[in-house]
């Protein structure tokens, strides 16, 4: 998952940018007189959100190529909070919104440092291969700078009319470039599972591997639990081991990640009695267990690689076990259940 520093492209055979309407401010304001070429420096503010949406250094190299021969000195890298360099003429900002590990939407803006003109747009990199993102983003930023009337030194900018949607060609991907990769995270949790109809609580742990892409996720987990119930004639011990599978939607923002979905579980349970009385015979047995339920898992904050997570689940036991003393139920895994777990999630 990403760390946050205090900060469209649609691919068919070729890559196109899904550009939202460019917003130009102070359109009626007079244009500033272009400074001499040696003073036309472009300052780029990198994203505050530190994720691998696009490679910064190759992006700057591609932007330098796009602006070559247009009277602009590209590029000076500066943090958004830093003071503008004395020779700064244009400032370009790139924001990742929302700030998440699988973010693919950027907010790009360009403005005159000493003038009133500014333009911005959203750019989607959802269907752009990782190797082509730097080039495609540079094309979008260069087009945004040209929309301000810059890029032709010595010629007064003309009125610009930017269509609501336009396409900027990017290099076609090679046949070896596949779809966007699936992202993985590992969850380690301590859990408590209660069975109200049997007055039993299993304490245990679980390791879960989550794979997600865009708004969907799938889980595979392995865990176990232990419970001990006391009766007048002795104790009943219950142990279980199970594997679970879940899937559903993922809702991610720059603050939190929420996974929702269905879950099925299959495992084995062992149950046996213990007694200190010589005239009481303790029994033992084991059985296949299974259950189905719904789960919600919350991770905060979303920007860090290792983050705390809370999981809640409820469902019903399809096949279970129970322990009895003198014909009376003492412990077991039957009926409906509730589960709560606390742990940590780590992006792989």
pLDDT of amino acid 299:
92
pLDDT of amino acid 265:
96
**Percent of the chain that is helix, strand, coil (3-state, to 5):** 10, 50, 40
Q: With contact defined as beta carbons under 8 Å apart, do 225 and 191 qualify?
A: yes
Name the β-bridge partners of 188.
Answer: 207, 344
- Mean pLDDT, residues 17-25: 41
- Mean pLDDT, residues 282-301: 89
Question: How would you class 133 by CB atoms within 10 Å of its CB: exposed for 0-12, middle for 13-18, buried for 19 or more?
Answer: buried
- Mean pLDDT, residues 50-74: 81
pLDDT of amino acid 280:
66
**Beta strands per DSSP E along 85-151:** 88-96, 105-112, 118-124
pLDDT of 248 strictly over 70:
yes
Q: Which of 211, 182, 186 is nearest to 347 (CA)?
A: 186
- Mean pLDDT, residues 246-269: 92
- Mean pLDDT, residues 38-67: 80
pLDDT of amino acid 179:
54
State the DSSP code for 170.
B
Q: With contact defined as beta carbons under 8 Å apart, do 238 and 273 qualify?
A: no
Contacts of 82 (CB under 8 A, 6+ apart): none
Question: pLDDT tens for residues 69-85?
Answer: 777 778 887 776 677 77
Say how far apart CA 119 and CA 144 lie, in whole Å: 7
pLDDT of amino acid 167:
43
pLDDT bucket at 109, cuts 50 / 70 / 90:
confident
Q: Which of 322, 319, 341 is nearest to 330 (CA)?
A: 322
pLDDT of 37 strictly over 80:
no
Question: pLDDT tens for residues 154-211?
Answer: 444 444 444 444 444 444 444 444 455 778 999 999 999 999 988 899 999 999 999 9
Question: pLDDT tens for residues 318-327?
Answer: 998 887 776 6
> Number of C-alpha atoms within 13 angstroms, CB side, residue 239?
5
pLDDT of amino acid 86:
67
Q: Which of 135, 94, 156, 160 is nearest to 11 (CA)?
A: 135
- Which is higher by pLDDT, 132 or 317? 317
pLDDT of amino acid 11:
32
**Which residue is it, tokens 């705390």?**
308
Domains and CATH numbers, the chain: 3-147 (3.40.50), 183-347 (2.40.160.20)
Question: What sign does the CA torsion over 180, 143, 70, 81 have?
Answer: negative
- Mean pLDDT, residues 12-17: 34
């Amino acid at each position: 998952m990403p760390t946050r520093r205090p900060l469209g492209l649609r691919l068919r055979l070729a890559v196109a940018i899904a550009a939202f309407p460019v917003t130009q401010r102070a359109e009626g304001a007079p244009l500033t007189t272009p400074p001499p070429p040696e003073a036309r420096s472009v300052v780029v503010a990198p994203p505050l959100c530190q994720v691998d949406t696009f490679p910064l250094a190759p992006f700057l190299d591609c932007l330098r190529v796009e602006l070559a021969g247009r009277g602009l000195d590209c590029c000076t890298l500066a943090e958004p909070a830093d003071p503008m360099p004395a020779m700064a003429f244009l400032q370009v900002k790139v924001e990742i919104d929302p700030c998440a590990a699988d973010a693919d939407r950027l907010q790009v803006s360009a403005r005159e440092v000493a003038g009133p003109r500014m333009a911005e747009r959203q750019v989607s990199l959802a269907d752009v291969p990782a190797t082509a993102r730097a080039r495609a983003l540079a094309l979008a930023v260069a087009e945004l700078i040209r929309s301000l009337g810059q890029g032709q030194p010595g010629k007064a900018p003309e009125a610009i009319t930017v269509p609501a949607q336009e396409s900027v060609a990017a290099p076609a991907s090679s046949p070896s470039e596949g779809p966007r990769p699936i992202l993985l995270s590992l969850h380690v949790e301590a859990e408590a599972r209660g069975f109200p109809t049997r007055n039993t609580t299993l304490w245990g742990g679980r390791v879960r591997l989550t794979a997600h892409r865009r708004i969907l996720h799938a889980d595979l987990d392995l865990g176990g639990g232990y419970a001990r119930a006391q009766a007048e004639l002795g104790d009943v011990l219950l142990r279980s081991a199970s594997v679970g599978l879940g899937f559903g939607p993922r809702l991610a923002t720059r603050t939190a990640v929420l996974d929702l979905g269905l879950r099925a579980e299959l495992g084995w349970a062992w149950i046996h009695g213990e007694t200190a009385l010589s005239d009481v015979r303790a029994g033992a047995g084991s059985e296949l267990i299974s259950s189905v339920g719904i789960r919600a898992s919350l991770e905060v904050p979303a920007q860090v690689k290792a983050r705390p997570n809370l999981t809640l689940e409820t469902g019903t036991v399809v096949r279970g076990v129970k322990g009895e003393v003198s014909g009376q139920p003492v412990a077991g895994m039957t009926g409906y259940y509730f589960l709560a777990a606390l742990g940590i999630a780590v992006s792989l």
